[in-house]
């Protein structure tokens, strides 16, 4: 199990999910706005927008919110102009961290990210310092109760996926970065219900963080808590024993 999935489980158990913090809708709306701005407001001809809308609906976002976000992206409604940036840094034990943001004020965002790193034992790094250690991939999630593992794995590989794993309540399907939309389409055509699909960053190698797990996860939590942050990626790994201990705390 990857470190990120373990941390997601810990946050869920502790009731610290994005949805409960009122941040999930904000992040989804930003993604819809940027997707519509860059590729147009028609989801049939804009795969990124189509997936953003699907993720929003899976999170039970009202259609009216989705429609307003699309119109803001296309310019039919006035709204904030968000720009994407990626910041790099180090956590405990030299763990590499990537922070993806959508912001209307780069200076404010950099200041907040730097403060979160320094306050929680990490450090902001120069561009290129850790990005080389991550590979862009597509990630598709399908609930286990929705599919037979062997059949889904074969269907996913036939659809163009390059990796498959079983994690928690979901089957995770990884695809080449440029092929995710095609794989989603092929799986949907085969009758599978996609729970979530997103572009992600997968570490090429990992660092054991058992001895600093709680401090490191607090740092990641602080970064994820910032309003402008969309996603945080890190190349840490924690053991099942450490994971169980954190779940009990």
Return d(Cα 80, Cα 154) in angstroms, integer. Answer: 43
Identify the band that residue 242 occupies on the pLDDT scale cut at 50, 70 and 90: confident
- List the end-to-end C-alpha distance of the chain, in Å, as a whole number: 20
| pTM (two decimals) | 0.85
Number of other residues whose CB lies within 10 A of the CB of residue 240: 9
Contact 152, 194 (CB under 8 A): no
| Rounded Cα gap, residues 146 and 120, in angstroms | 40
Q: What angle do CA 113, 119, 120 make, to 5 degrees?
A: 95
Domains of the chain (ranges; CATH) run 3-74 (1.10.10.200), 83-127+206-244 (3.30.70.980), 133-203 (3.30.70.980)
For 79-111, the pLDDT digits (tens) are: 888 999 999 999 999 999 999 999 999 999 999
CB of 186 closer than 8 Å to CB of 140: no
């Amino acid at each position: 199990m990857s470190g990120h999935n373990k941390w997601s489980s810990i946050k869920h158990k502790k009731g610290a999910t994005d949805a409960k913090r009122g941040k999930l809708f904000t992040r989804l709306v930003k993604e819809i706005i940027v997707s519509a701005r860059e590729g147009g407001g028609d989801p049939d001809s804009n795969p990124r927008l189509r997936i953003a809308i699907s993720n929003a609906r899976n999170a039970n976002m009202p259609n009216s919110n989705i429609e307003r976000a699309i119109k803001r992206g296309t310019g039919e409604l006035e709204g904030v102009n968000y720009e994407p940036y990626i910041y790099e840094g180090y956590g405990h034990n030299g763990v590499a961290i990537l922070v993806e943001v959508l912001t209307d004020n780069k200076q404010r965002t950099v200041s907040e990210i730097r403060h979160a790193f320094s306050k929680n034992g990490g450090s902001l790094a120069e561009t290129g310092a850790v990005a080389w250690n991550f590979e862009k991939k597509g990630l598709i999630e399908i609930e286990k109760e929705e599919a037979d593992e062997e059949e889904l794995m074969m269907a996913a590989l036939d659809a163009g996926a390059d990796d498959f794993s079983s994690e928690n309540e979901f089957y995770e399907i990884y695809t080449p970065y440029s092929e995710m939309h095609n794989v989603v389409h092929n799986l949907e055509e085969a009758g599978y219900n996609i729970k979530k699909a997103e572009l992600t960053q997968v570490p090429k190698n990992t660092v054991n963080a058992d001895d600093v797990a709680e401090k490191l996860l607090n740092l990641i939590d602080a970064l994820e808590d910032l309003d402008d942050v969309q996603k945080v990626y890190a190349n840490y790994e924690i053991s099942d024993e450490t994971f169980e201990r954190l779940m009990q705390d």
